A and B are shown apart, each in its own frame.
Chain A
Amino acid sequence: MLILTCPVCGVTAEETEFHAGGEAHLTRHGPGASDADFEDYLFMRANPRGVHFERWRHVYGCGKWFHAARCTTTLQVFGTYTAQTSAPPQEILDKIADARPDWTPRTPG
């Protein structure tokens, strides 16, 4: 059972206080979007072995959504950061680079 630090309220808590929300940094495609874009948005999810960016909600705490950068194999948490961003901040990318020098960001799509 993971422990995560909510970057919004600063509380470090066990997983039962949180709710996982799947892959982070999706781009919404609404009316007018191509079938392919819409399919990507609605259904296609990265399921990497290793570094992953996820959405979490501090559901039993401050109620806010946030993002976590996490390794899906070792469960190392590289950092948590605001949900109000469309890409991981540099500080998080640096932490990942420190821990996983061989890692390269996945190109979206």
Chain B
Amino acid sequence: MSTRLATGGRLLSKDKALSFTFNGRRLRGFSGDTLASALLANDQMLVGRSFKYHRPRGIVASGAEEPNGLVNMGEGGRFEPNQRITTTELFDGLTATSQNHWPSLDFDVGAINSKLARFLPAGFYYKMFIHPRPLWKHVYEPIIRRSAGLGRAPTAPDADTYEHFHAFCDVLVIGGGVAGLQAAKAAARSGARVLVLEQTPHWGGRAPVDGGTVDGKPVDKFVEELVSELADMPNVTLRNRTMGAGVYDHGYVLGYEQLGDHAPEKPGPRHRLWRIRAGHVLTATGAIERPLPFAGNDVPGVMLASAVRDYVVNYGVSPGDRTVVVTNNDNAYLTAIALKYAGLSVPAILDARVLPTDSPAMEQAKALGIRVLMGHAVSSVKGGKRVTGVAVCSQSGEGAVLEEIACDVVAMSGGWSPVVHLWSHCGGKLLWDETQAHFRPDVDKAPIGADGHGFVTPAGCANGVMQLDAILADAVQAGEIACAAAGFRARHSDAPTAEPSGETPMTPVWMMPQGAGIKLRSKAWLDYQNDVKVSDVQLAAQEGFESVEHAKRYTTLGMATDQGKLSNINGLATLAAARNVAIPQVGTTTFRPPYTPISMGAIGGEARGDVFQPLRRTPMHDWHAANGAEWEPVGHWRRPYAYRRSGESTHEAVMREVRNTRDKLGLLDASTLGKIVVKGPDAPRFLDMLYTNMMSTLKPGKCRYGLMCSENGFLIDDGVVARIDDDTFLCHTTTGGAERIHQHMEEWLQTEWWDWKVHVANVTEQYAQIAVVGPNARTALERLGGMDVGKDALGFMDWAEGTLGGFAVRVYRISFSGELSYEIAVDASHGQAFWDALMVVGADLGAMPYGTECLHILRAEKGFIMIGDETDGTVIPQDLGLDWAISKKKEDYLGKRAQARSHMADPTRWKLVGLETEDGSVLPDGAYAVAAGENANGQRNTQGRVTSTYHSPTLDRGIAMGLVLHGPDRMGEVLEFPRLDGTTVKAKIVSPVFYDPQGEKQNV
């Protein structure tokens, strides 16, 4: 059984006991524990069930590479699935439950899959569930989804907050182990701004566990002094609990800081995403130990040798009483020695190597009385939910059992793989190191920065340098390279010295034993999390999935949440052997960020709730909100759709607003319409290029409606242009067009006609603009008084400046409703007061605010087009019968050449008409008019579509506009429009001007 040792545990504060629950069971741990170490201390080795076969799974690792220990953490708004117990710091009150089993962790019905494993090889799902097709959706998929998958999705909204932080530094060091710290110091001596990120709460990485001395001091003492020295340097920032998640173009790095995971009661954000821009990036990300592929290597109790050592040394936890160490290298001997020193039993070390002489580590192990069996291997592991022993064989054979050794832990080591993820994210290349049997950075092929030079330097184990003395020297060198690359002068100082370890080389072992038959191979796991075995990868190769990317997807090797941190190299080696090629020829799959999963909350940062997106508010926003406005999003603006009164439906409110505006007086907040000042001696010429019609002939004091097209000829915006003086125009755009058209103008002025003397300024938000609309509009303004708004002084399409009710205003006599109408611009800071004044003088004139839906109906009754309804980016003005607004005299305007193309002049282009349903109903929006016959895809042919459709309270019937084949020539013809419910509605082609075709109402 696993248990807490009486002594040891360098990371624990044993005076701070903590209480937590696992599957409802109340357990105890200490401050400094991870959830994994605390579970082991409570003899909870079994932590989950595997993904596919539901096999019992225990803790394998002690860090970010853990594949099995994933749990549901927390409750309610803090529930989160798939949390890694080896990196979860224990806190008082932590609650966790295990995943992927039913009904319980100890007894899981799904484990029947394990008995069927023979029938569930790689690609099983692809092969089995293809036919018959309909069964997939209704039978196979629901069943598979229930039995597969890990944690549950949260149901409550996330109770935490998150944020981003933009940080800049000269040298970013990722990894706070001895290499990272030493490299940071070397870089910081140059004066460079250095930021060091460490994913765990602790500094020094593995070195303090592995022991030894630096400059005559114990490693942990050395680390402590180095950290305090760095902390005192003003140009160095140290951040623990912050993972370097990804390295991107031009020195962009994401850091993932866990602020609240270990202390949920602490106020403030849970996670902070650091958006770092570094002059140079130093990856000191260490190395990860590889499992060995032998039969039963997934039985709970089979662990990485380094993890066993970590639990003993760091957490004072014994994973088991009797540990068999199986290895192909010297490093795992440290585990056997550490266990011995902790008073635990190590019945044997099975070393796959055959060596001529003993290394110092072997000598030390033997001196401690440990039985060392060279050339030996595990044939198979005994036990189900917990290791009970190993069957020993010789590595070079086929697995014939020589003896069985009882034990409850197997500590395995297949060698070490540098963590090259961050080096590789942005294109750093790897090379295969034969001696150490791993991929390490090819420092001559670093990721390229903006200046064309490499911007990442690896250091220490991450660079394939595995011995302490060499690591320190490598780190100093890397630190000096990094600061120089960031533009600083390195100030050299010799690396501290550590005593050489005298390790003998490892021997690669990709299958244990070497000649294992299918029975053993199909019990030898590569990927614990996705249940991929040696036999699966071999099957993939046999079936032709030779590319590593194909084999990965076919077998799902390395595709789980751990992204193959433990499994990839063993998988590649297995694939290489199956294909009979060298490992570098197989290559690696692509390393993609993030290094370990990061929360969606951190990615979103502050953008949730009220600030999820920027909502734009007009100066009268609060008034609208207080007066029943239902909002319509228009871009980021919120405009009142209608103002609903109590007892009224939204539709009823809209109908009331239309009738009131036609009969009395309506007020519209039109502040969102774009307003752009265009000024300069070349302004007339410039506007002639931008608009399809002639603007240069417009007289000061007058307004003209204009159309803008793209160079492709399509209509992009419309609006009223007012000429302020000879040199100055004010161009109105659509609400959505303000920024777009301003940028469009700037683009042409800056990049094509840069010698033209024109300045533009977007003054959209300077003004509150209010449309005062309806038969009583003039009376209302006259009551305010101050300027003459009479028919003669301010005729239709005139504008004037003056005062109304004491407000400085600019009044445009324009109409988008067909009514007598004034649009009045007042400085935004006075917008609400002016609106209030209008409501007061208009009270007995029937003044009512109206919203965007009313605006739409008013304009549709008049046959006025709306950008975005009648246009969709493929419509030209000619399609809309707007030929009158296209100058024939101008040599050029944007879109003119495009409109000369044959298909633009094609008489079969659909053209704008009005549509009147025979039964008075409202046509469905976007409905198509069907034509005879079918197209090549067997669909009904079409001859038109609805672009705008409303119920007109003025006419008390449905009205619509649409684009129809030869429409204007087919007045009176009846078209059929299918509805979604399968019925059809008939509509007659009519003029799009439904109301007051002579314009008598607006010209009073």
Contacts and interface: CB of A to CB of B under 8 A. Distances in A.
Given A1-B248, A84-B754, A75 B450 contact: yes
A78 to B, nearest CB: 8
A74 B447 CA distance: 8
Contacts of B452: 71, 74, 76, 99
A28 interface: yes
Given A31-B891, A31-B900, A75 B754 contact: no
Interface residues of A, number: 28
A83 B751 contact: yes
Contact of A31 (B746, B752, B896): B896
A57 B743 CA distance: 10
A70 B12 CA distance: 53
B901 A3 contact: no
Interface in A16-66: 21, 28-33, 35, 38, 42, 55, 57, 59, 63-65
A93 interface: no
Contacts of B754: 83-84
Interface string B257-280: 000000000000000000001000
What does DSSP make chain B's interface, helix, strand, loop or mixed? Answer: mixed
A42 B712 contact: yes
B914 interface: no
Contact of B747 (A31, A57, A76): A57
B712 to A, nearest CB: 6
A94 interface: no
A92 interface: no
Most buried by B among A2, A31, A38: A31
Interface string B797-840: 00000000000000000000000000000000000000000000
A75 B448 contact: yes
Interface string B886-924: 000001100011101100000000000000000000000
Q: How large is the interface on B (under 10, 10 to 19, 20 to 34, 35 or more residues)?
A: 20 to 34
B448 A74 contact: yes
A76 B451 contact: yes
A14 interface: yes
Interface string A74-100: 111100000110000000000000010
Nearest to A55: B751
A60 to B, nearest CB: 12
A83 B751 CA distance: 6
A28 B251 contact: no
Contacts of B252: 1, 3, 14
B888 to A, nearest CB: 12
Given A65-B750, A83-B750, A76 B248 contact: no
A33 B711 CA distance: 13
A93 to B, nearest CB: 16
Nearest to B902: A35
A64 B750 contact: yes
A37 B84 CA distance: 61
A26 to B, nearest CB: 9
A42 B750 contact: no
25 contacts: A2-B250, A2-B450, A3-B250, A3-B252, A3-B277, A3-B450, A14-B252, A21-B747, A28-B752, A30-B892, A31-B891, A38-B897, A38-B898, A38-B901, A42-B712, A42-B898, A57-B747, A63-B746, A65-B750, A65-B751, A75-B450, A76-B448, A83-B754, A84-B751, A99-B452
Nearest 3 A-B pairs (CB), nearest first?
Answer: A76-B452, A74-B448, A84-B754
Interface of A: 1-3, 14, 21, 28-33, 35, 38, 42, 55, 57, 59, 63-65, 71, 74-77, 83-84, 99
